[in-house]
């Protein structure tokens, strides 16, 4: 005689569906709250940028913000630029006149460089054209700095000689003499150089010291301080340079040195990001950098030089020779995305999933309740079938099997009632069926002895 089969496959599929929805909600929540780690390639070795970016990374971690920086150091900015270009870094420190990857967009200017010349008044040098046949001192510098000076000299139809020279120089030549800082004064005094060229941050302490050395060697304490007045023409030929202005009285107010603003050109060390870095992340990195500038300056003085790239409007910023990342522009324009705008799609998805979870739970409860009712209904129907069959049965062995099945069905109904809420109407009907079927089976067994 067949036993009752309790349905369970549909319940298992419902549970699988619920678990899948919960998994999607968990993944969405993880995406919204996880830390974002960005790799930054820093250079040049020996410069202030590696220490600055490491301090920035440490401050981000200390404040437990949602962004972390993994700092990777390179010897030069050409190598750091290549790391960004090859996709090995998300951010990089670059110098545009040396190497600027096609996928690099500016977040911030870390340090601005200016090219200018300081000469004692008795040297008779007032501008680049007066450097013909002269010796130009320069601190032991990077190749990029020498290349920039050569570019400016060439713009004035002069030739820069970088090898040691003896005797008189050709009329159209300028000899570059490498020096250490301590040798600047003696070199001017002994006429080993006629003037000093600098490619540096004009507000830096070393710039002030070098200008003071030149002033000390001037007979009347006056010096000529000049740059490249026709900077527009230079930038037209070398667009990765930038216009720079040395403000009047930068190196002293009595007398004013320089007496008026000095227009020149220069370059910069920039923090750039991959063009495909999300606007929200780029804005956040830029915002934190400027908000932490004062804190960073306590340990790395170079943080004081951090500045935003100059631009007139958004169209100018994104189409310039040194374009700015749209995320950085969002920060500069105070148009950053709000949390809702940034994660709008995810919030909608989570809301939809949450609604789906609620609906699924309600439907699942309803479905499981119906399944439980079906189980009791099936068991009750089987009991009534057994009662009818017992009236016609003459074989005692079959009646004993019916009695055992009645006990099993009663136990199954009892388990359902204990483990799950059960409607009283269904439970009452099942109890009546159990009692009636048992009574019928017993009477049949009594009337049909072995």
Closest to 84 measured CA to CA, from 70, 71, 94? 94
Predicted confidence band at 392 (pLDDT cuts at 50, 70, 90)? confident
Residues whose CB falls within 8 Å of the CB of residue 226, separated by 6 or more in sequence, listed in order: 116, 117, 126, 127, 128, 262, 264
> Collapsing DSSP states into helix, strand and coil, what is residue 238?
coil
At residue 5, the pLDDT reads: 43
Cβ atoms within 10 Å, residue 34 = 9
The one-character DSSP state at 449 is -
Closest to 59 measured CA to CA, from 294, 348, 219? 294
Of all helices (H) and strands (E), which one includes residue 87?
A: none
H helices of 168-325, in order, are 184-189, 205-216, 231-237, 279-291, 293-297, 314-319
Q: Which tokens in the block code for residue 444?
A: 């049949």
Dump the DSSP string for 376-394: HHHHHHHHHHHHHHHHH--
> Collapsing DSSP states into helix, strand and coil, what is residue 104?
strand
- Whether the pLDDT of residue 3 is over 50: the answer is no
Alpha carbons 347 and 352: distance in angstroms, whole number: 8
HEC assignment per residue over 129-176? HHHCCCEEEEECCCHHHHHHHHHHHHHCCCEEECCCCCCCCCCCEEEE
- Whether the pLDDT of residue 141 is over 90: the answer is no
Give the residue, 22 or 254, on which the prediction is more confident: 254
Alpha carbons 267 and 201: distance in angstroms, whole number: 10
Residues whose CB falls within 8 Å of the CB of residue 311, separated by 6 or more in sequence, listed in order: 317, 320, 324
At residue 195, the pLDDT reads: 96
Predicted confidence band at 272 (pLDDT cuts at 50, 70, 90)? very high
At residue 319, the pLDDT reads: 57
H helices of 253-343, in order, are 279-291, 293-297, 314-319, 326-332, 339-342
Predicted confidence band at 379 (pLDDT cuts at 50, 70, 90)? confident
Alpha carbons 351 and 397: distance in angstroms, whole number: 62
8 Å CB contact between 219 and 110: no
Alpha carbons 119 and 114: distance in angstroms, whole number: 16
The CATH number of domain 34-109+272-326 is 3.40.190.10: yes
8 Å CB contact between 53 and 290: no
pLDDT digits (tens, 9 = 90+) for 69-85: 999 999 999 999 999 99
Alpha carbons 427 and 420: distance in angstroms, whole number: 12
8 Å CB contact between 400 and 442: no
Q: Which tokens in the block code for residue 298?
A: 């306590």
Could you tell me the pTM of the whole model?
0.68
CATH architecture of 110-268: 3-Layer(aba) Sandwich (3.40)
pLDDT digits (tens, 9 = 90+) for 197-207: 999 999 999 99
Using a 10 angstrom Cβ sphere, with 0-12 exposed, 13-18 middle and 19 or more buried, the burial of residue 428 is exposed
8 Å CB contact between 107 and 303: no
- Whether the pLDDT of residue 68 is over 90: the answer is yes
Give the residue, 38 or 384, on which the prediction is more confident: 38
The one-character DSSP state at 88 is S
Cβ atoms within 10 Å, residue 414 = 14
Mean pLDDT in residue range 354-358: 61
At residue 420, the pLDDT reads: 65
Total residues belonging to the chain: 450
8 Å CB contact between 89 and 41: yes
pLDDT digits (tens, 9 = 90+) for 107-135: 999 999 999 999 999 899 999 999 999 99
Q: Buried (b) or exposed (e) across 225-258, using 16+ Cβ within 10 A?
A: bbbbeebeebbeebeebbbbebeeebbeeeeebb
The one-character DSSP state at 125 is -
Residues whose CB falls within 8 Å of the CB of residue 365, separated by 6 or more in sequence, listed in order: none
Q: Look over the chain and give the mean of its residue pLDDT values, rounded to a whole number.
A: 84
> Collapsing DSSP states into helix, strand and coil, what is residue 264?
strand
At residue 207, the pLDDT reads: 94
Alpha carbons 272 and 194: distance in angstroms, whole number: 38
Alpha carbons 304 and 136: distance in angstroms, whole number: 30
8 Å CB contact between 99 and 319: no
């Amino acid at each position: 005689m067949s036993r009752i089969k309790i349905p369970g496959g549909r319940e298992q599929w419902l549970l699988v569906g619920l678990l899948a929805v919960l998994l999607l909600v968990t993944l969405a929540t993880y995406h919204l709250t996880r830390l974002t780690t960005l790799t930054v390639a820093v250079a040049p070795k020996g410069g202030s940028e590696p220490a600055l970016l490491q301090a920035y990374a440490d401050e981000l971690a200390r404040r437990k913000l949602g962004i972390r920086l993994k700092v990777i150091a390179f010897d030069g900015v050409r190598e750091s630029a290549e790391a960004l270009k090859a996709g090995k870094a998300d951010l990089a420190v670059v110098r545009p006149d040396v190497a600027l990857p096609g996928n690099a967009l500016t977040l911030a200017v870390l340090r601005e460089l200016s090219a200018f010349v300081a000469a004692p008044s008795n040297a008779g040098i007032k501008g680049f054209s007066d450097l013909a046949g002269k010796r130009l001192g320069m601190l032991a510098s990077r190749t990029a700095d020498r290349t920039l000076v050569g570019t400016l000299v060439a713009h004035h139809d002069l030739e820069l000689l970088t090898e040691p020279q003896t005797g008189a120089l050709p009329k159209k030549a300028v000899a570059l003499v490498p020096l250490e800082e301590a040798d600047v004064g003696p070199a001017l005094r002994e006429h080993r150089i006629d003037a000093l060229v600098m490619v540096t941050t004009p507000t830096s302490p070393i710039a002030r010291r070098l200008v003071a050395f030149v002033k000390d060697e001037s007979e009347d304490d006056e010096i000529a301080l000049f740059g490249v007045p026709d900077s527009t023409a230079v930038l037209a030929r070398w667009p990765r340079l930038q216009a720079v202005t040395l403000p009047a009285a930068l190196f002293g107010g009595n007398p004013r040195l320089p007496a008026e603003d000095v227009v020149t050109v220069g370059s910069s060390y920039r923090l750039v990001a991959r063009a495909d870095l999300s606007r929200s992340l780029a804005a956040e990195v830029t915002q934190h950098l400027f908000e932490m500038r004062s804190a960073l300056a306590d340990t790395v003085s170079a943080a004081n030089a951090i500045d935003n790239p100059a631009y007139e409007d958004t169209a100018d910023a994104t189409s310039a020779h040194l374009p700015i990342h749209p995320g950085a522009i969002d920060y500069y324009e105070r148009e950053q995305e709000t949390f809702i705008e940034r994660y709008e799609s995810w919030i909608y998805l989570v809301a939809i999933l949450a609604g789906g979870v609620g609906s699924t739970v309600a439907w699942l409860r309803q479905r499981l309740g119906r399944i439980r009712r079906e189980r009791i209904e099936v068991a009750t129907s089987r009991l009534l079938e057994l009662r009818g069959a017992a009236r016609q049965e003459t074989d005692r062995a079959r009646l004993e099997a019916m009695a055992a099945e009645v006990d099993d069905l009663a136990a199954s109904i009892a388990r359902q009632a204990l483990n799950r809420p059960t409607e009283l109407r269904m439970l009452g009907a099942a109890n009546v069926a159990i009692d009636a079927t048992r009574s019928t089976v017993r009477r049949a067994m009594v009337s049909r002895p072995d």
